[in-house]
Structure 1
Amino acid sequence: MRHLIRPLTTAARPFTSPHTYRRWAYLVIGGALLTPFATAALVLATLVTGTGTAQNPPGPAGWLLALALTLAALAATARIPGVATAQHQLARALLRGPLDRLPDTPPTPGARAALWLCLHTLTGMAVCLITMTGLTESALLAVAPLVGDPYTVSQGPFTLLGHGPLTPAQRLAGPLLGLALLAALTAAVALTGHLLSLPAPRLLGPSPARLLADAQARARTLAERNRLARELHDSLGHALSVVTLQAATAARLLDSDPEFARQALTHIADQARTATADLDHALGILREDTPAPTAPPPDLTDLDHLAATADHTGTPLHLTLNGDPRTVPALLSRETYRIAQQALTNALTHAPGHPLDLTLHITPRHLRLNARNPLPRRTPLTRRRTGGRGITGMQERAHLLGGTLTAGPDPGADPPHWTLDLTLNWKDTDTP
């Protein structure tokens, strides 16, 4: 039973789909737009050729001239500012189809917009003519059993039932023929609308150059958003991890060691100010009207401050520095600092209280950063269950800089350790 219903459903789809009637209206609008252009062009063509009377009707030359004048007027109209946009919006609202899958970017006035306007109006005029003829004939066929003489219903003869008086069989067959004609008209309009929707993306959609420019702009925007997400994740995540640990320590030692609690609160205030500065820096990039931040973002020269911050959380950071961080290009220095900061944040989150060994080796064209901390035997209760973007963000930073980063447990260490290794190279020390 299902294999019989499915073909019937498919055959009835053009008659039940709202697309058919929206496209029908779109085509009729095209025919209405063509009417004044065609009328004016036909009048001019008859004046030029000296035809247009009952004794001298327009010949092939007159009709070709009228068609050429109509197309020229349509092409000129398509170049008026706003016409291409209106055609684009009207097609997206009524014609729809493949055009809906493209960005809502109207075409620029030009040859493609002119070609679409000509195609829309000429196809629409043809649909208007068959609509007027088909609907009239269908109505006359439907009322055939009710009238005695077809000439009392229309000014012309019944095309499908002949020119003579109707027989009883013709009167009974009239409504069936009218329904069949209406169905054929609807199917023809549905097919015409579907065929017209196929070239719409190429003629009404953005040009290939515009699509490429939009794709590049979206890629730049996405890359900038990802960079800002990494900045906020690393800076604010680190600050919040430090503040959380220091606040918990201050609360625990407030009575027994008030001096240490006071120092912890001082460091919490420092971290809050640092996080605010990083947030202002990120928001300044997002908002074009915001003045550029005066304070530069931290880089490898600030590793000593990072180590001091870690010590106040109860997680000692042992920093080993070989080489001069000032010789590292500025971009690489900032990004490497963020990776080191995220490594410390991970250690504070997953292994609080365990020491972190941070080793940075710098040569004129190369640096290597190694972070290593023991893994706790038992998962701490304060471990966060959400997140997990830290390592991914560090790997993205390393990849964008042309480096490599690996992170994971060291299976050969006893006790087990977590190890992060970053390698970066650059061509020369003059890289900005």
Structure 2
Amino acid sequence: MARILIIDDDVDILSAAKLLLKRHFGEVTIEKNPERIPFLLGNYSFDLILLDMNFTRDVDSGKEGFQWLDKILDIKPEAKVVLFTAYGDVEMAVKAIKLGAKDFVLKPWENEKLLETLHEALNETSGNEATAKHQLIGESKSMKEVFERMKRVAETDANVLILGENGTGKDLMAQALHRYSLREKQAFVRADIAALPDTLVEAELFGYVKGAFTDAKDTRIGKFEEAQKGTMFLDEIGNLSPVVQSKLLHVLQNRSLMRLGSNKEIALDIRLICATNENLSQRVAEGSFRQDLLYRINTITLEMPALRERDEDVELLAEHFLKTYAQKYNRTVDGLSAGLKKELYRYNWPGNVRELQHAIERAVILCRSRTLSVEDVFEHGHMKPEKASTKSFDLESMERKLIAESLKKCKGNISDAAKELGLSRAALYRRIEKYGL
């Protein structure tokens, strides 16, 4: 019953796509003018957006596609966007994925491939990511200890707080907790607080009734109600405003909620999992996070180790991502060179597993032989082996460095870093994803 929006300035493409997709989805809306995107998103609800990358003004660079992708994610940070491109520019499409798109499809498309891609992207809406790409993998002592603790905790309904740097796999640990729990057959619902504008957080989490505020044209349930009987995962919980912290505390204490604009209590039965890269105890001491809420959410704490603390897993993860992306992109790449294995261990991986994943994905796409080399992984990206001393002054490298320094200065606080950099939280969050920070 999913609602699909297709945006392409080629009417033949629109007609063909609609003819195919209307047999598989609940509702398919087509639009040839991208200028109508803000109106459509403001007045209608879509589960997935299929967006062309090249429009009339800019035939083959993808620039307009990037601009509209950014606009969509500013309006609806939680939007699921899959890209259309007719030029086979895989590297351009991968860049768009780093900026927030879920996947891409090349024109002319294969029907089964298009349907498979859309279904995978839609499955992420409820937090179920494709297991071929996203698994918790590790043989190191630190990861085995986390796995063991997770399995013991998962069987209970205890609230869990997952700690760790960006890119360590906190979201995957939350999914693992759900899969091993007694609620595994129920919904797993994810809400990324950092990606939601402050003004929308309360409405997204708790829902609202028609007329609750200016744009509330219909009654809508929130994420917590979607998770009824299942698991609710609040990612980057440190970004909650004091007002929403207070309301969340009320929900946890009373096991019930009220939608915005309503005075009716709705009984709630969920298992809560939260995650953050911040030091919440320090935030409590500073007065920016409620101590009573912290007590409620961290009945059990799981800490994800940084990749630099689990060297034994680097090669294992690299080989896993190599196999995954060689299959996805139909590449005949099947090994890591001895030199590359050495450099993988030497590199510090500040972006953790996410950075390694992106590096291997890019290398698989660009590699011209059957074996990945040092140059494939490090020289084609913006990473450099530890021994390299040459400085890079390209704009993306400078932006990455500036963002990393700001995050460090602000101790991982997304809101403070965004304010210092002059970005919205959603825009900063997309750049963090892009650079694997």
* Common fold: TM-score over 0.5: no
Higher helix share: 1
Q: TM-score range by the shorter chain?
A: under 0.3
Q: Which structure's CA Rg is the greater one?
A: 1
